[in-house]
Amino acid sequence: MNDDQGTPDVQHLGLEPSDLDGYTLDDLTDYLEAGRVPRNPSIEASPGCQLALDALERLQGLGGELIDADSAAMPEVEDGWVDRILSGIALDARAGRRIPLAASDPVDDFGITEGAVRGLIRSAENAVAGLLIGHSSLEGDVATPGVPIRIAIDVNAFYGTSIPTAVERLRAEIADRVRCHTDLVVTAVDITVRDIQRVGRRPGEAS
């Protein structure tokens, strides 16, 4: 179900308000469109809200053509692809499991949330033109150091993109970011292209 602005409601996405510290995607979209003014300290201090805002900002950067393309989708398409992107943003904002980080002193106990890693994965789309990440998941025991895991990602590709080239670039970018910022042992980054969309110019394409 969508509201008048084309944003799925919280119940439809399976996202509880507590995942975003009491806010919804609608609230965050309104806040972003207002230029984050007046500044809302509780939103700015919420890790989940920050992950969602970053993803929404990248999505909005593609312009209103996204919603137009969703509205013009073929009748046999069950769910709008914009809905699926927004659903992925909502799910990725959840804190999820705690992932330990190595510490030089055994007394120290450092960690990062699964949601933060998903946000890191999603940010990789900025470096690869022609692909938009829908949802990502970490498959395996991320709570135990040294245990191999796999990263699974759904993406949408823009018409005219060389999918094999873009997918390989995204896979390498994600692997590098996860390796630099976490201690996870990633054995594979599985990328599934769910849709191919014609939405004006592709991100990064010259006019």
The CATH number assigned to the domain holding 184 equals: 3.30.70.1350
Give pTM, 2 decimals.
0.66
Local structure of 103: helix, strand or coil: coil
Q: Are residues 115 and 82 in the same domain?
A: no
Q: Which amino acid is it at 150?
A: R
Percent of the chain predicted with pLDDT > 90 = 33
pLDDT top residue among 118 and 95: 118
Q: Are 149 and 136 in contact (CB under 8 A)?
A: no
- Grouping H, G, I as helix, E, B as strand and the rest as coil, residue 164 is helix
Number of folded domains that form the chain: 2
How much is the average pLDDT of 33-47?
91
Range of the domain at 149: 97-207
pLDDT for 18 beyond 60: no
The answer to whether residue 14 scores a pLDDT higher than 70 is no
- Tokens 């933060």 belong to residue: 116
- The reply to whether 71 and 143 lie within a common domain is no
Report whether 6 contacts 69 (CB < 8 A).
no
Q: Which among 26, 61, 94 is the end of a domain?
A: 94
Cα gap 164→192, rounded to integer Å:
11
Average pLDDT over residues 81-101: 75
Give the side-chain half-sphere CA count within 13 A for 115.
Answer: 20
